[in-house]
């Protein structure tokens, strides 16, 4: 009797262990599958690149340009590493696995004083040299899903593949201040649909050097 009870308990534990390992393995496969899909860049045709570039320039000119002429540095498909490098997780609205989402980076000397959270700051603190947009290539009349500002471009090194871009540090920071690396890994992200959504119009985070504005159409 006692021996049968022990055998039954042992079998139950083995079954539980097997099921647990199976669930974890499936989760790992799903995670790897998502990462693979979201990291495969979709080639944009020239007409789409041109349209995205013009939209990004139009959004840039809605800010006050302090000097020079805004210039598009990059217009391509959005991939997972773009978001993770910015310290952001995929969301239902901004999902790199969506082949219609694109990323555009514009170099421009702009006053971001018209953005909530920047209005009352001195010019030195609200002046940015690079703007990044995430756009839906299938919705030409829509605004950006996301707009990110970088002071000197350092936050966009991984996107522009330009390690020479200077660190992004807050205006007035002591000499020698280093940029904080915001990059994260996918395992730190919640499942899509479980994340916290920033209310429309709010700035996240509300501090420099890299400022993010999420657009909700």
Q: Looking at the structure, do residues 19 and 124 belong to the same domain, yes or no? A: no
pLDDT for position 2? 52
User: Is 27 in the same domain as 81?
Assistant: no
Residue 32, H or E segment:
helix 2-38
pLDDT at 172: 86
Residues 19 and 126 in one domain: no
- Sheet with 211-214: list strands edge to edge: 64-77, 101-111, 127-136, 146-150, 211-214
At residue 199, the pLDDT reads 43
Overall number of domains in the chain: 2
pLDDT computed for residue 141 by the predictor: 87
Q: What is residue 37's predicted lDDT score, i.e. its pLDDT?
A: 74
User: What six digits make up the tokens of 56?
Assistant: 């990004």
For 195, other C-beta atoms within 10 Å of its C-beta total 16
Residue 149 shares a structural domain with residue 165: yes
Give just the sign of the alpha carbon dihedral 90, 92, 95, 101.
negative
Same domain assignment for residues 101 and 25: no
d(CA 165, CA 198): 29
Q: Are 5 and 66 members of one domain?
A: no
Q: Range of 83's domain? A: 46-214
Task: Based on the fold, state whether residues 111 and 210 are members of the same structural domain.
Answer: yes
Q: Are 126 and 215 in contact (CB under 8 A)?
A: no
DSSP 8-state class, residue 181 = P
Question: What confidence score (pLDDT) does residue 204 get?
Answer: 39
Asked if residue 127 lies in contact with residue 112, where contact means CB atoms within 8 angstroms, the answer is: yes
Residues 33, 63, single domain; the answer is no
- List the chain residues with pLDDT less than 50: 9, 17-26, 195-209, 216-217
Look at residue 212 in the predicted model and tell me its pLDDT. 57
Nearest to 55 by CA among 111, 129, 126, 136: 136
């Amino acid at each position: 009797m006692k021996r049968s009870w022990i055998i039954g308990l042992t079998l139950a534990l083995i079954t539980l262990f097997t099921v647990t390992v199976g669930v974890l393995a499936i989760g790992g496969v799903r995670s790897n599958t998502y990462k693979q899909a979201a990291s495969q860049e979709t080639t944009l045709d020239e007409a789409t690149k041109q349209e995205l570039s013009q939209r990004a320039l139009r959004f840039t000119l809605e800010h006050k340009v302090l000097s020079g002429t805004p210039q598009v540095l990059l217009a391509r498909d959005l991939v997972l590493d773009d978001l993770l490098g910015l310290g952001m997780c995929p969301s239902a609205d901004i999902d790199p696995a969506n082949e219609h989402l694109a990323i555009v980076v514009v170099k421009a000397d702009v006053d971001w004083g018209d953005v909530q959270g920047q209005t009352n700051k001195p010019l030195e603190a609200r002046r940015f040299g690079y703007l990044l947009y995430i756009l839906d290539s299938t919705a030409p009349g829509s605004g950006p899903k996301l707009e990110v500002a970088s002071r000197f471009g350092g936050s966009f090194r991984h996107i522009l593949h330009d390690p020479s871009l200077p660190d992004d540090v807050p205006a007035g920071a002591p000499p020698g201040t280093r940029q904080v690396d915001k990059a994260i890994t996918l395992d730190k992200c919640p499942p899509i649909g479980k994340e916290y959504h920033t209310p429309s119009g709010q700035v996240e985070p509300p501090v420099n050097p890299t400022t993010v504005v999420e657009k909700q159409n």
